[in-house]
Amino acid sequence: MLRQLEGSAAVAETVALCRPEVVCAYPISPQTHIVEGLSDLVRAGRLGSCEYVTVESEFAALSVCIGASATGARAYTATASQGLLYMAEALFNASGLGLPIVMTVANRAIGAPINIWNDHSDAMSQRDCGWIQLYAEDNQEAADLHVQAFRLAERVSLPVMVCMDGFVLTHAYERVDVPTAEQVDAFLPPFEPRQVLDPADPVTIGAMVGPEAFAEVRYLAHAKQMQALDAIPEIAAEFELAFGRPSGGLVRGYRTEDAETIVVALGSVLGTIEDTVDELREQGVKIGALAIKSFRPFPLEEVRAALGAARRVVVLEKALAVGIGGIVSANVRMALSGIDLHGYTVIAGLGGRPVTRKSLRALFERAVEDRLEPLNFLDLDRERVESELERMAAGGRSGPHAENILRDSGIVASRSH
């Protein structure tokens, strides 16, 4: 039913419709409303025998999901930011063991400096932990991707992260068509585990593997992600047929057909980008956008097909790989290997900095004239950065960066005295 509700509520209700048997999560902003919502639904008896397990940390939360999944239960968790980092070791275990857990990541920056706002630093830091990573553009897609994620996870025996922008989506009220239980039941059959810890038929899971077989087991993880490149668009197509709306898939182009300039991004910033693309199109600028929906596995062929005919590609990303620049950009460049075009990286929206149409428009206007640097920082205040660099160059005890920059900005940092 079409309703106006908070993104977190839409996700909680949709996850509930997927009939998880174990939900185990530790609250952290901006994920909290999702797990609070699920906890309410479990307590109200809406999830049958589903158990909501409260634990003391994110490491424990994912570890409980691993145990639950290994016994054949459909398991779900959610986290963000430092919480995802705290799960890091268990993330590799979940994927290495091939356990189809689904997790929402309410994307948020990583400290230091401590920051609760949105960017993609958290998910990007774990991009190579073996989980599939899907990115939602709006709350309808965030809800829909969870239904698809359980199908996908259980089909290829890999865990799936559904990444949705923290606050920007989790705390936004907008219209979402929350599916019915019948629709989801028809689309998502009960979990049939490929491996199960069953006292009646004992096996061990998690053997130590030495040099003689480690590479082969690891290769299987890669092979399954390559299978997911086929499974993701198939499941998205089935979803569209069953639910009557497109959601998910590997990539989605917007006005790219004749575009000389294509902007590539992940997540909710695509909405603002598309509005800006329309403004420029009205002035005759041949510009389009490409949403990457699946970052792991990375759809090299689809990205190459979508971008290969463009003259320039601008990758706008909400994470910074310190010491090199772009993360998404590096993957996009790999897709474009051997193709001669101008490629630009733009780091934007870090720590919740708003990405505005005004700034995007100025950026794209410079891009179409090839006046961008290889690496750009949207709306970076150079003056404040320079004054801190000068302070350091002067030697001596120049003090902590965060506090210095805040003071230069006229903002008083929290003090302990």
Partner 1 sequence: MKHPVGGSSFPGMEGLRATFEVRIHGRGGQGVVTAAELLSVAAFDEGRHAQAFPSFGSERTGAPVVSFCRFGDTPIRTREPIAEPDALIVQDPTLLHQVDLFSGLRPDGYLLINSGRDLAELGLAELGERFRPERLLSVPATELAREHLGRPLPNAALLGGFAALSGALRLDSVIAAIRERFGGEAGERNAAASAACFHHVEHELAGAVGA
Residues at the site binding partner 1, with contacts judged by CB under 8 A: 3-4, 6, 116-118, 138, 165, 167-168, 171-175, 268-272, 274-275, 278-279, 282, 352, 354-358
- Could you tell me the smallest distance in angstroms from the CB atom of residue 347 to partner 1? 17
**Amino acid, single-letter form, for residue 298:** F
**Choice between 33 and 127, CB closer to partner 1:** 33
Minimum Å distance from CB 356 to partner 1? 5
Name which of 359 and 404 has its Cβ closer to partner 1.
Answer: 359
Is residue 123 within 8 Å of residue 96, measured between CB atoms?
Answer: no
Nearer to partner 1, 164 or 228 (CB): 164
Which phi and psi angles does 118 have, rounded to 5°? -80, 135
38 contacts 23 by C-beta, under 8 angstroms: yes
- β-pair type (173-177, 51-53): unpaired
Minimum CB distance to partner 1 smaller for 171 or for 311:
171
CA distance 274 to 282: 12
Minimum separation from the CB atom of position 398 to partner 1 (A): 28
Smallest gap, in angstroms, from Cβ of residue 276 to partner 1? 9
Structure tokens at 245: 């709306």
Q: How far is the CB of 289 from partner 1 (least distance, A)?
A: 11
CB of 274 to partner 1, least distance (A): 6
The amino acid occupying position 138 is: D
Q: At what angle do helices 214-243 and 139-156 cross, to 10 degrees?
A: 130
Residue written as tokens 């002067």? 394
CB atoms within 10 A of CB 403: 15
Alpha carbon distance 92, 87 (integer Å): 9
Q: For partner 1, which is the closer residue by CB, 5 or 368?
A: 5
Nearest approach, Cβ of 248 to partner 1 (angstroms)? 18
Residue 163, helix vs strand vs coil: strand
Least separation in angstroms between CB 384 and partner 1: 20
Q: Please report which helix (H) or strand (E) contains residue 307, including its range.
A: helix 300-307
Q: State the sign of the Cα–Cα–Cα–Cα dihedral 113, 115, 121, 126.
A: positive
**Of 167 and 298, CB closest to partner 1:** 167
CA distance 278 to 134: 26
Question: Closer CB to partner 1, residue 201 or residue 282?
Answer: 282
CA-to-CA dists, residue 394 to 221, 382, 385, 406, 408, angstroms? 51, 18, 14, 19, 17
Q: Which is nearer to partner 1, 113 or 271 (CB)?
A: 271
Instruction: Give the torsion sign (CA, 9, 31, 102, 315).
Output: positive
Orientation of helix 7-17 relative to helix 139-156, angle to 10°: 30
What are the structure tokens assigned to 316, written together? 């706008």
In whole angstroms, how close is the CB of 97 to partner 1 at the nearest point?
Answer: 36
Kindly state the smallest distance separating residue 32's Cβ from partner 1, in Å. Answer: 13
Between 218 and 357, CB nearer to partner 1:
357
Rounded Cα gap, residues 39 and 54, in angstroms:
9
Q: Quick one: 31 or 69, whose CB is closer to partner 1?
A: 31
